[in-house]
Amino acid sequence: MLPRRAPYFYNLQPLIEQGKVSWERGNLALFVKEPIQLTVNWRKEIKGTWKTFTQEWQAQPGQVLYPTWRNVSVWEEPFFEENRDYWQEMAIKESDGQLRICIVELFDDMNAVSRRELRHIPGNLIGRKVKIKEEKIKVSGDFVQMNLIVKSLTDLTAKFASHKKISPGLTNRALEEISSILVILSKAQSSLKIQARQELSQINASRVAEIPVKTAQSSAYLLQRRLKDLEMTAAVLRRAGQWLRLTNFIERRFRNAYARLGKLIQELESYVLKGQMPQATTLLSIAKESQGIYHNLAEVAVFNPYYSFVHSVETERLLKSISHAQAGKPKTVLNDLKIALRKIEKGAIGEKPTKEELQKVRRSI
């Protein structure tokens, strides 16, 4: 099965203009108003032959369309170079001599985006700490790896600089160390790592005098890469903060809805449990407010999991409460509200029950 490919951002522009896709209120990402489908084409070199692949890309309401930048692939470069006049429309930019294009990644829910921005990318760049009971394990990222390589290259440069006469033993040890570093850099994709690798690849035993020059230049490239790691981590953490603020905003809306719906249920129960019939205006007022609660949540819950909570069979019963109130069915309206409350509860206090909840229930019993 082929991995899911990401379409170019400019491929979605017509869908944005048609109103099928829109930016969320903070312009962090795009949300889908109705199911959409695009055809994505790409090329890949297999055993020396370039083959073209086609894939249907689909997105459903509730999923997150997240614009991000990637380097232009080798097969894409000729096409984009020929269309320089359209770079702005195609969302293409040049950075450090590398062409980059805006693509749209698809996530099932906004929590997946937050995890990537807060955990995965910083973990890959800087490293992460894994805690198992009392034991803490450090997993190094690209930044730490660059530090170790730079230290090795700096030590090599210093050793060659401090010796007036370079012995064969020192040369052989240096070549072995450089060989191991080249293995680490063999799959490098960033331009700075590739430049560092190219410098080290030119070193051989017959050109010993060039070793300190090449190791120093390679170190300079990797130091620049290390700085980029820090800059990228800072940028991704800023985005993670924006996603967390958006999550808090949505959950605050859910908590307010949860509390207000609970009060409406309490008010209606005061009649139903006593076998009394509320006034028609009172029943209709409760139903109208419950429907307003639904629309208030739907306005902000454009991404899963919150979208699925609102657009569920249970929560959508609030939309039927007015017709049930007009028919003079207080018990049915009460049932509508109670069933919807269970689903809204997920967005208000979370899907996963906590130890504190268990203790509260025990105390209440």
* Domain residue ranges in the chain: 1-107, 248-364
Which residues sit opposite 66 in a β-bridge?
Answer: 105
Q: What is the pTM of this model?
A: 0.86
Cα separation values, 71 from 8, 81, 101, 185, Å: 12, 14, 6, 18
The radius of gyration computed from the CA coordinates of the chain, to the nearest angstrom, equals 30
| pLDDT on residue 61 | 97
* Contact of 109 with 303, CB cutoff 8 Å: yes
Q: Mean pLDDT of successive 10-residue segments in the chain (365 residues)? A: 78 95 93 95 86 93 95 86 84 80 95 94 87 80 89 89 77 88 88 90 79 91 90 92 95 98 97 93 97 97 97 97 97 97 95 79 78
- Supply angle C-alpha 8, 243, 309, rounded to 5: 95
Cα separation values, 265 from 157, 237, 277, Å: 76, 41, 15
The token pair at 68 is 């991000």
Cα 113 to Cα 107: distance, rounded to the nearest angstrom = 7
Q: Nearest CA to 105 among 2, 12, 21, 7?
A: 7
| pLDDT on residue 190 | 83
Residues 319/324/330/333 CA torsion (nearest 10 deg): -20
Which residues sit opposite 38 in a β-bridge?
Answer: 57
| pLDDT on residue 150 | 92
Helix, strand, coil percentages for the chain (3-state, nearest 5): 60, 20, 20
Cα 288 to Cα 275: distance, rounded to the nearest angstrom = 22
30-32/64-71 β-pairing: antiparallel
Cα 91 to Cα 73: distance, rounded to the nearest angstrom = 15
Q: How many helices (H) and strands (E) does the chain have?
A: 14, 9
Collapse the DSSP code of 39 into the 3-class scheme (helix H, G, I; strand E, B; otherwise coil) and give the result.
Answer: strand
DSSP string, 233-273: HHHHHHHHHHHHHHHHHHHHHHHHHHHHHHHHHHHHHHHHT
- The residue type found at 82 is E
Cα 66 to Cα 28: distance, rounded to the nearest angstrom = 8
The token pair at 268 is 């209606």
The conformation of residue 7, written as its DSSP 8-state character, comes to P
| pLDDT on residue 3 | 56
| pLDDT on residue 1 | 45
